[in-house]
Chains A and B, each alone.
Chain A
Amino acid sequence: MSTILKVEALRVAIGALTPLSSVSFSLEKGETLGLVGESGSGKSLTAMAIMGLLPLIGGRITGGSVVFDGSDLTALPEPAYRKLRGGRIGLITQNPMTSLDPLKKVGSQIDVVARLHLGLDKSAARNRTVELLGELRIPEPASIYHLYPHQLSGGMKQRIVIAMALAADPDLLIADEPTTALDVTVQAQIIRLLSDLIRDRGLSMVLITHDMSVVAQACDKVVVMYAGTAVEYGTVAAIFDDPRHPYTKALIGCIPRGLAGAQRLKGIEGTVPSVAHYPQGCRFHPRCPRAEAICAAVSPPFIASRDGAAACHFAGAVG
């Protein structure tokens, strides 16, 4: 297996603030990696950083590296980056309601990707789009092609967004909360669709979500993020069997288990601190049930465990 994406000690600044720091992970070809955390934890910022789109929101990378297929993207000039975006890395965004240009037919919005990156002409691109829509289990793709976004349901629109991301046969998908804005039943369909695509096309994917059950369903590896930094990473099996960071434990506690595990669903007390008010030491300590004096003073190093590591002073301790 070879590494398709390696993020190391990534640090992002917006103005004078540093909303993202010390995020590291690596993704092998064919794998799906889950980036998990509450909103405000820096997941989407990580996605924007990989896509090279930070300037859009006034941000920039101030440290670390993003290595895609062997080359460091942090130093990549814009024209070369444009070839990667849409061409080798596809992005799926959170809200399909606002992700499509309302004035253009959905078909042409997909076509443009293949025309731009694969050099197809108009009719070839159209055929390819219709074929792709069929592959995404869209009924009557040829007529959907001519519709405008407002004529489609949320789930359909999200399939169009997925089609845009796939249109140029990328190697890597970045899916930023692809199901959050959808109905529960549609959520499951989209997640299954994505998983199948990854398997069938040999794609790799970074799946951003706040939902641990989605991770359990679709991912091979997980990075848990909190307040702009990674707090634990590991394989899905390791994280679910033996979470080391109290925050990870709390997140897993949030998954409803149906009747079988009829214990009370636990929420996490408090809210994620804002960028301007990140606490000293371990950023989770104000909300942490295990916090001790050291947590407020020293920021914890990663302590390796089976198939992963956790940034908690007590990650080595049992229980």
Chain B
Amino acid sequence: MIIKYTLQRLLMLIPVSLSISVVIFLVVHLLPGDPIDNLMRVGSSPEDRLAMTVKYGLDRTLVEQYLLWIRSILSGDFGEAIVLRRPVSALIWQNLPYSLTLGALAFAFSSIVGMIAGTVSAVAKNPVVEQVVKAFILLGSTVPSFWLALLMILLFSVTLGWFPVSGAKTWTALVLPVLTIGFGGIALVARVTRVALVEIARQDFVTLLHAKGLSRSTILFRHLLPHAFLPVVTILALRIGWILGGAVTVEFVFGRPGLGSLLIRALGQRDYPVVQGCLLMLALAVMLGTLIGDVAQAALDPRVREATT
């Protein structure tokens, strides 16, 4: 049943991906500035220029360019980076593992710690604990991530010397970036968990669970937390894009390779094919996130499963 549902959702992604590809294509082609300018050395002839334009297909109509682009993407070819002069797919493959590692770790870190923090603040009827978690949640959603990254570097790398300042050579270089991205994520997950738990605990069936003689911990772990998972999973899946977005800033500050750094560099150089490739990958991640969220929700909630199959 879940497999059928997943396949259905995958099919629905096709039209969405196509429309996203059109948007990305158009947006990128609205970028002002001629990338050919970046390639031309001073004093090169108009003929050289024309040859370049033809080589990158920039002389054709937008529709033709789009169709060509889509066709090559479907065959795994993202084109050639104009400035870096390498296949875009190679650039993406080279940078993707760094972003994936960072994203996955930050994701796991923030969901686990966030759920624990949210549960503690909802269950501990202790006003001090509650206020501390609340304050933390507020901090996590208001502190700019690049600033947090800089503070982390100052404290842990410069002052304490525990972790490298930048780069991605050792696994210890991952700690600070994961903490930085995770900080905002923890706040988000904790808040959602807390709200969900408080709301569920008010429902009738919880009274009846108590009336059956179940202990508080059984009720919390077997019945309340599974309910709290539902909104948390949804939010987390929707926020995969946001975690990647956070990765953009954090990769930049920590000088890590990754899709984010690649994108920022390409934006600065107006390297169309690279920008397109990166945006497409990020869009794909966002869509996959939504898909995973939907499937997970169907797996967790029999009502969703039934309504959609």
Contact = CB atoms under 8 A, between A and B. Distances in A.
Contact between A and B in the complex (any CB pair below 8 Å): yes
Interface of A: 51, 53, 56, 82-87, 90-91, 93-95, 98-104, 112-113, 116-117, 148, 150-151, 161, 164-165
Given A95-B204, A103-B226, A56 B302 contact: no
Contacts of B227: 103
In the A-B complex, the 9 residue pairs with the closest CB atoms: A86-B213, A91-B211, A86-B212, A98-B204, A85-B213, A148-B302, A82-B213, A150-B303, A99-B208
A77 to B, nearest CB: 13
Interface in B199-216: 203-215
B300 interface: yes
Contacts of B302: 102-103, 148, 150
Contact of B207 (A93, A117, A165): A93
Contacts of B208: 91, 93, 99-100, 161, 164
Contacts of A113: 212-213
Contacts of A99: 204-205, 208
Nearest to B226: A103
A164 B302 CA distance: 21
24 contacts: A82-B215, A83-B213, A84-B213, A85-B212, A86-B212, A86-B214, A91-B207, A93-B204, A98-B203, A98-B205, A99-B204, A100-B205, A101-B223, A102-B301, A102-B302, A102-B303, A103-B226, A103-B227, A116-B214, A117-B213, A148-B303, A150-B306, A161-B208, A164-B208
A86 B211 contact: yes
A113 B301 CA distance: 23
Contacts, number: 73
Interface in B165-212: 203-212
Q: Is the interface of A mostly helix, strand, loop or mixed?
A: mixed
Nearest to A98: B204
A53 B210 contact: yes
Nearest to A96: B204
Given A83-B213, A112-B212, A101 B306 contact: no
A238 B2 CA distance: 61
A164 B213 CA distance: 11
Given A85-B213, A93-B207, A150-B303, 4 more contacts: A93-B204, A99-B205, A103-B301, A148-B302
Contacts of A112: 212, 214
Given A87-B213, A116-B212, A151-B306, A101 B205 contact: yes
Given A98-B205, A102-B302, A150-B303, A56 B213 contact: no
Contacts of A104: 223
Contact of A53 (B207, B223, B303): B207
B211 A116 contact: no
A264 B207 CA distance: 40
Given A103-B227, A103-B300, A104-B223, A56 B207 contact: yes
B127 to A, nearest CB: 15
Nearest to A104: B223
Given A82-B215, A93-B204, A116-B214, A101 B209 contact: yes
